[in-house]
Structure 1
Amino acid sequence: MTRRALVVRGGWDGHSPEAATDLFVPFLQAQGFVTEIETDNEVYADADRMAGVDLVVQCVTMSEISGPALAGLRSAVEAGTGLAGWHGGIADSYRASSDYLQLVGGQFATHPGRHPDERPGDASDNYLRHTVNITAEGRQHQITAGLTDFELDTEQYWVLHDDLIDVLATTTHPVRPWHPWHRPIISPAVWTRLWGAGRIFVATPGHSPEVLADPNVRTIVERGLLWASRTESE
């Protein structure tokens, strides 16, 4: 049976939405998906079209979403359409919409920066060497099974989240002299969420195509896309 993936991309150009999603379109096609690409999230308001979508891959940082489009996305996921993405393309979308935040279960708050004396004034100001730790649940989950803790030198997302997510990997923000918090903060780095008959997958690494090409990150995203796709089980 043919599966259909809808790639919705746009928003802030700093996350390279076209280049980032282009990394995974061939993978989806090799897995038997017919892929369609849209640059306008109003596609979510088309109920007939969304009913035939097995997986939404969203890469839209910040931006806005209309009421009908958001209602359409929520309805589609509740009915079984999968929703998946990485970094700001899913965890920092539509900041003004509380209903979207509830759907996804986690929201980017910040990415702590380097020491002020070590900031050249570009995107790397917020690149920190950090570890992504696979949780006990993650060691058993098909998305992250067989993976071990790994390090990245990129943005480390601080995420506000709720208890309905299943956390497969975390990252810890340490206490540094130039930051105002007083104890380490653990943030989810990879999570899943069940919503009605639908599945949601989020990975916070993915600031650039180079990060997405990291073997650990790419493996997690590819597995997450497949896991989130509409399924008759569960």
Structure 2
Amino acid sequence: MSQALVVYGGWEGHYPGEIADIFAELLGEIGFGVTMSDRLDSFTSADDLRAFQLIVLHWTQGDIAPNQFAALREAVHGGVGLAGIHGGLGDAFRNIPEFQYMVGGQWVAHPGNDGVTYDVTVTDLNHPITQGVPNFTVTSEQYYMHIDPAIHTLATTRFGDTVMPVAWTKRYGSGKVFYHSLGHHPDVVRMPEVLRLTRQGLAWAAAEA
């Protein structure tokens, strides 16, 4: 059985425990054994992390110790998948540029704060992550992000004339990274379109090749 590690914590405004439970549900649906942890010392050994096919991180802001990041980086670079959503991956560990490079982007603003209604447009209709996911509208925070031009964009939104990635993949060494910026509240994560996108993203990031 494939194994996933879900590490959650940081700023409580992103409901780390509740959203970690949603990740665990989705991973169970696709046949993963799941280990849950609310401690960053889960990242103290790259050798231990290699026992997992996937690491799911939901830890908004916060600080990670150098040895913890080194273990996480080594594991992902060596082929362990990495996935996350919203600020839990896209706004973690602001003081570590290499972490932002690994993820492929970093939150910088959400104009209008919570309660903005915006469209999400699927731009890669042929990717396994987006199969069966239609374009949809969400009312939540709309993330404006600094992004790595090396990402592969799966879905976008618009800020006026600016097209902004919402979901993407990236390769980091041998590791596969999946991210989307949706999910300020658990009810957004539980939208059918977001659940499907997330579930398929988790499966993709964990798969070999």
TM-score, normalized by the shorter chain, greater than 0.5: yes
Residues 80-110 of structure 1, C-alpha deviations (whole Å, 9 max, x = no match): 1000010000000001111111111100011
> In structure 2, do the counterparts of structure 1 residues 22 and 55 end up closer, same or farther at CA, with 3 Å as the change threshold?
same
Give me the whole-angstrom Cα distance separating, in 1, the residues matched to 2:71 and 2:126: 33
Give me the whole-angstrom Cα distance separating, in 2, the residues matched to 1:35 and 1:112: 35
Aligned counterparts, 1:168-207, within 5 A: 168-174=154-160, 184-207=161-184
Q: 1:130 matched to which residue of 2?
A: 118
Is 2:47–2:75's contact at 8 Å kept on the other side of the alignment? no
How well do the aligned residues superpose, as a CA RMSD in angstroms? 1.1
Q: 2:9 matched to which residue of 1?
A: 10
1:148 to 127, 130, 134: 134
**Structure 1 segments (4+ residues) deviating >2 Å:** 29-32, 145-148
For residue 201 of structure 1, report the CA deviation from its aligned partner: 0.3
What one-letter code is carried by the residue in structure 2 that aligns with 1:77?
V
Structure 2 spans left out of the alignment, 5+ residues: none
Give me the whole-angstrom Cα distance separating, in 2, the residues matched to 1:97 and 1:110: 18
For residue 48 of structure 1, report the CA deviation from its aligned partner: 2.4
For residue 47 of structure 1, report the CA deviation from its aligned partner: 2.1
Aligned counterparts, 1:58-97, within 5 A: 58-97=57-96
SS, match of residue 125 in structure 2: helix
Give me the whole-angstrom Cα distance separating, in 2, the residues matched to 1:27 and 1:192: 19
For residue 230 of structure 1, report the CA deviation from its aligned partner: 4.2
Residues 48-99 of structure 1, C-alpha deviations (whole Å, 9 max, x = no match): 2111011011100000111111111111011110000100000000011111
Give me the whole-angstrom Cα distance separating, in 1, the residues matched to 2:46 and 2:152: 28
What one-letter code is carried by the residue in structure 2 that aligns with 1:155?
E
Give me the whole-angstrom Cα distance separating, in 2, the residues matched to 1:150 and 1:70: 35
Structure number, greater radius of gyration: 1
What one-letter code is carried by the residue in structure 2 that aligns with 1:62?
Q
Give me the whole-angstrom Cα distance separating, in 2, the residues matched to 1:141 and 1:230: 14
TM-score (norm 1): 0.86
For residue 41 of structure 1, report the CA deviation from its aligned partner: 1.5
Give me the whole-angstrom Cα distance separating, in 1, the residues matched to 2:79 and 2:186: 29
The percent of aligned pairs where both chains have the same amino acid is: 36
What one-letter code is carried by the residue in structure 2 that aligns with 1:130?
Y
Is 2:85–2:179's contact at 8 Å kept on the other side of the alignment? yes
Give me the whole-angstrom Cα distance separating, in 1, the residues matched to 2:71 and 2:104: 18
Q: Which moved more, 1:44-53 or 1:101-110?
A: 44-53
For residue 185 of structure 1, report the CA deviation from its aligned partner: 2.0
What one-letter code is carried by the residue in structure 1 that aligns with 2:120?
V
For this pair of structures, how many residues does the alignment match? 209
Structure 1 spans left out of the alignment, 5+ residues: 114-124, 175-183
Is 2:167–2:179's contact at 8 Å kept on the other side of the alignment? yes
SS, match of residue 182 in structure 2: coil
TM-score (norm 2): 0.96
Q: 1:118 matched to which residue of 2?
A: none
Q: Which moved more, 1:199-208 or 1:17-26?
A: 17-26
For residue 45 of structure 1, report the CA deviation from its aligned partner: 2.0
What one-letter code is carried by the residue in structure 1 that aligns with 2:200?
R
